[in-house]
Structure 1
Amino acid sequence: MLHEFSRTELIIGKENMEKLRNSKVAIFGVGGVGSFVVEGLVRSGIGKFVLIDDDSICLTNLNRQLHATKKTIGKPKVDAMKDRILEINPKAEIATYQEFYLPGQGEKLIFDDYDYIVDAIDTVTGKLDLVVNAKNRNIKIISSMGAGNKLDPTAFEVSDIYNTSVCPLAKVMRRELKRREISSLKVVYSKEIPIKPTGNEDASCAVGCICPSGTTRKCTTKHQIPGSISFVPSVVGLIIAGEVVKDLIKL
């Protein structure tokens, strides 16, 4: 009998579809990259999700984030993403945490039953702590490197962190992971030289913040707001989703 994942089953088989249905993936950060990770995973048949993000959807998210529409502005991203997952697969199991991942939070946000962790968060300290926790618990993890201020989606590739170059975020991660004696980390990164954002104050969150009411980490507190475009973080997210699926079914 035909079902929603019949076309996927044709290329990976029934046994692998069952593996994906029983797999639990935790996505830390469901913004530009993370929302497309989730999209790729749910449409591939992943059956269990954990979504972690403290943000609510903002007007400035509409240019690149999958769950962002005029109707969802102000809604917590994890809730909007959960709704979308259930519209695609009503049988999916979903846990949500509207929290900003910080060092020291591993005990309450990382659990041994995770089959895979996706790091799609922005802060270096959070990324490092997440990687260390995943490695200590022997949970597979993949990290997104810098996707902001980029214009070429074809420049992204999958690599080990120690084989990366050009990307400023990857450079910091290499240095800090080496200090923590982490020997490897699968990442998606780009060799494209980051574009310097224009100094247009009309497009700057620093002077025209429109964060939804109740936002605890307003964009005005960030050192620099990166530029973005629809077809870059989406590609990164789908690349990551592909790597997660292939790793889970060992393709």
Structure 2
Amino acid sequence: MDHLRSHRVQLIAAAVAASAATAGLIASYNAYNRQKTRKDLNEQVLQSIQSKGSNFNFQALQENFENISASSSSSSNYDENLIREQLARNYVFFGEEGMQKIRGGTVVIIGCGGVGSWCAVMLARSGVSKIRLVDFDYVTLSSLNRHATALLEDVGTPKVKCIERTLKAIAKWIQVDARIEIWRKEDGGTLLEGADWVIDAIDNIQTKVDLLKYCSDNSIKVFASMGAGAKSDPTRVQISDISYTIYDPLARSVRRRLRLLGVSSGIPVVYSTEVPGDVKLLPLDEEEFRKGPVKELGVFDDFRVRILPVLGPLPSIFGLHITTYILCELAGKPILNPLPIKSRRKLYERLWRDLLHREEKLAGQTLSRIPLDEDDIALIFEDIHRGRSVLPPHEVPTKPVLVRWDLAQPLTLENCVTMEEKDAAKHVKAWREGLESSKESLQSGTVTLSPSPAEVWGNEVEEIVQRRAKEIRRVQDWVA
């Protein structure tokens, strides 16, 4: 009996050992197979790099552009384990279901310059498997300060083909549809076919409006990029609905035109609330002016031939904002009510109501409106006075209010300042007391009241107000 029991134990032990050995062999085989696949991929990458050494033939690359898609591996024969490893951090963030939606998504990018190229690169890096690129333009030397994929050797290459090459090098499994075309509303539906999201990175205002209107009418999700030119403050870049944009000239023009077409909201945009400094159009050579009217120099009608200076990082920041928003939307984890709009809009509303009530007290009657809207309030408070009191030492008010600087003059953008509430009360009180005690005098057809703001607060503050009034006039010229 003991002999049989011992034999049974031996058989069980042998079976366990065999199972363990088999499992070990399977694990080793899988590890070897994965390692071999990775090695093959590394060799492909090295060969690709070596092929573009000092003897790299750019002309041959252009001739073979049309063969890029055919020669690249597709998702059907590319190792899924490698794809998941490459996207591992995205999988951890979005989860299996979210990444399935992202990888099944189709995004169309209209305009593949500084903003659009960064969108394309990050969509590919994040797992979006179908990307359509639409742009008629070519890479120029001036593109290199902001374009995500363009190299010096790419000058003269279609932007969409330049991006396509890079996307295929990043993620061989994705499908890239590069179209060297211009989007027009007459036949734009073909280029937008199958899109889960459309990215509007177009420079031309009318084409941008046409695209946004088309998407709105056809229930196509679209995200629009506003103006990144002449901006430098990354902290002012934010996402909002088109209806909430403030002090972005491009956004204002697009918003007004869309409203006339019956579209007032429902389009997310990225824009900057920054008021640019002294910027001018890039100059054209005198020789170009001698050729004829400048507008006739464009590749297409209505497309700009003179452009604002662009600080390279800003278009990339715009593009990354767009990509992040769309990825979260595709994954089913949308960004709800972006914080800057949610928190600041209520402040502007309060400042506006407070200013209205103060103007009513000064007028001695109920007013239906004042000549400043909430956008103007935001400009005065944020951009001109930086959220600080106009009075030295220019502290951040605990309860900020806006008040007319010269109470003898009408309320305008230039004649409105930020103060602490108690200082504003003192400001109005001094004017009222002066009004009661002084006699009106007529000088050049204008009634001058005493004391003046400078007499109450000093010449230093008066000079500050006048400097900021000049800044406001410059802003008005900019947004006109």
Q: Could you tell me the TM-score, scaled by structure 1's length?
A: 0.89
Could you say which residue in structure 2 is the equivalent of 1:6?
88
Cα contact 1:102–1:125 (8 A) shared by 2? no
Which of 86, 110, 127 pairs up with 2:208?
A: 127
Count residues with an aligned counterpart.
Answer: 241
Secondary structure, aligned partner of 1:16: helix
* Cα deviation code 1:35-79 (max 9, x no counterpart): 111111111110000100011110011111112211211110000
Report if the CA contact (8 A) 2:204-2:304 is conserved.
no
CA-to-aligned-CA distance 1:177-226 (integer Å, 9 cap, x gap): 11111132110011111344357xxx6355588xxxxx9728xx735311
What are the within-5 Å matches in structure 2 for residues 54-69 of structure 1? 54-69=136-151
The residue identity in structure 2 corresponding to 1:169 is L
d(CA) in 2 for partners of 1:74, 1:190: 31
**Equivalent of 2:158 in 76, 87, 93:** 76
* SS, match of residue 36 in structure 1: helix
* Compared CA separation, residues 167 and 45, structure 1 to 2 (3 A): same
Tell me which residue corresponds to 2:338. Answer: none
SS at match of 2:238: strand
- Equivalences for 1:172-187 in 2 at 5 Å? 172-184=253-265, 185-187=267-269
Q: Cα distance, 1:148 vs. partner?
A: 0.6
Are the equivalent residues in 1 in contact too, given 2:138–2:157 (CA < 8 A)?
A: yes
| Residues 243 and 133 of structure 1, relative CA distance in 2, 3 Å threshold | same
Amino acid at match of 1:236: F
The answer on whether the counterparts of 1:25 and 1:115 sit within 8 Å (CA) in structure 2 is yes
Contact preservation (8 Å) 1:103, 1:125: no
The code of the aligned residue for 2:171 comes to N
**Which residue pairs with 2:98 in the alignment?**
16
Letter in 2 for 1:11: F
Structure-to-structure mapping, 1:82-121, within 5 angstroms: 82-111=164-193, 113-121=194-202
Aligned counterpart, 1:241: 323
Name the residue aligned to 1:146. 227
CA contact (8 A) 1:156 1:188 kept: yes
Deviates more, 1:114-123 or 1:67-76: 67-76
Q: Give the superposition deviation at 1:14.
A: 1.6
Are positions 1:204 and 2:278 aligned together? no
1:132-156 Cα offsets, whole Å, 9 max, x none, are 1112221111000011111112211
Larger of the two Rg values belongs to structure = 2
**TM-score, length-normalised on structure 2?**
0.48
Q: Which runs of 5+ in 1 are unaligned?
A: 210-214
Taking the aligned partners of 1:206 and 1:100, their CA distance within structure 2 comes to 27
Deviation at 1:129, TM superposition (A): 1.0
Map 1:185-200 to 2 at 5 A.
185-198=267-280
Q: Is 1:156 aligned to residue 156 of structure 2?
A: no
State, as a whole percentage, how many aligned pairs show the same letter: 33
Ranges in structure 2 where 5+ consecutive residues have no aligned partner: 1-80, 289-296, 334-480
Does the CA contact (< 8 Å) of 2:238 and 2:270 recur in 1? yes
* Residues 283, 306 of structure 2: 8 Å contact kept: no
Q: 1:206 to 1:238 in 2, by over 3 A?
A: farther
Matched, 1:46 2:128: yes
Q: For residue 212 of structure 1, what is the aligned residue in structure 2?
A: none
Measured in 2, the distance between the counterparts of 1:168 and 1:206 equals 26
Q: CA RMSD in A?
A: 2.2
Provide the rounded CA distance (Å) in 2 between the counterparts of 1:222 and 1:40.
27
